[in-house]
Amino acid sequence: DVKVTQSSRYLVKRTGEKVFLECVQDMDHENMFWYRQDPGLGLRLIYFSYDVKMKEKGDIPEGYSVSREKKERFSLILESASTNQTSMYLCASSLWAGQSENEQYFGPGTRLTVT
Amino acid sequence: AQSVAQPEDQVNVAEGNPLTVKCTYSVSGNPYLFWYVQYPNRGLQFLLKYITGDNLVKGSYGFEAEFNKSQTSFHLKKPSALVSDSALYFCAVNHGGYQKVTFGTGTKLQVIP
């Protein structure tokens, strides 16, 4: 079974802090994704990566950056946390086979509160 | 551009009755369509997908979905709802060669005992 793990289930940070969210997958997937989930807005893509050291902006990249130094690990960084970044953050991975028909596997999520 | 709409924020159904959760999409080219489920305090789980072929797709936990190209819809169905089906359901779409998936806003399914 594919396993996607996230470093924290709950996190409380102060405004202006630098925040790191870590995600690890164990199935050698090429693609990895970071989403935020907010009530009424569904899932919105922040960034994704299709290979080591490669990244692509999603729909809402402002205020975030990412790092992928190893294939299994994808980090989301909030350079200076703000209260409007309080949200549930979901990491996902998928196999890339030249087409995009493969489903994504999600981690349990990190609920981040910025005060 | 691609988009997906889930017109109902919430669907209530009695246990044992059939259920339908609606999804419509917009995409250039042939769509790849997905349904995911999120149980309380859990991440999303894949339910089923349509890539090509038979318009009726069967998935996990007795769910199925029907792809209708003329109506650009991909509704999720189950013949007999269980209380344990109560969860948040997301429809998603992308098209071949494009790695970004667009998710709908989600539909909360409440199955009433």
DSSP class per residue in B43-69: -EEEEEEE-SS-SEEE-GGG-EEEEET
**Which pLDDT value is given to residue B52?**
86
Asked if B47 and B38 count as a contact pair (C-beta separation under 8 A), the reply is no
Question: Residue A107 corresponds to which amino acid?
Answer: G
Contacts of B8 in chain A (CB under 8 A): none
Q: Which residues of A touch B (CB under 8 A)?
A: 4, 31, 35, 40-45, 48, 50, 56, 58, 90, 92, 96, 98-101, 103-109
In total, chain A counts a number of residues equal to 115
For chain B, helix (H) and strand (E) counts, in that order, are: 0, 12
Residue B99's pLDDT band (boundaries 50, 70, 90)? confident
Q: Tokens standing for B20?
A: 């339908």
Asked if B74 and B98 count as a contact pair (C-beta separation under 8 A), the reply is no
Question: pLDDT of B16-75, one tens digit each?
Answer: 999 999 999 998 888 899 999 999 878 899 999 999 889 999 999 999 999 999 999 999
Asked if B23 and B8 count as a contact pair (C-beta separation under 8 A), the reply is no
Q: Which residue has the higher pLDDT, A40 or A97?
A: A40
Comparing CA positions, the residue from A111, A87, A102, A71 lying closest to residue A36 is A87
Give the pairing type, strands B10-14 and B19-21.
unpaired
Give the pairing type, strands B31-38 and B44-50.
antiparallel
What are the two backbone dihedrals, phi and then psi, of residue B90, each rounded to the nearest 5 degrees? -120, 135
- For residue A34, the chain B residue with the least C-alpha distance is B100
A97 vs A61: CA distance, rounded Å: 25
Question: pLDDT of A78-90, one tens digit each?
Answer: 999 999 999 999 9
Asked if A48 and A59 count as a contact pair (C-beta separation under 8 A), the reply is no
Q: Is the per-residue pLDDT at B97 higher than 70?
A: no
**Which pLDDT value is given to residue A9?**
93
Residue A60 host element (H or E): none
What are the two backbone dihedrals, phi and then psi, of residue B25, each rounded to the nearest 5 degrees? -140, 165
**Which pLDDT value is given to residue A47?**
95
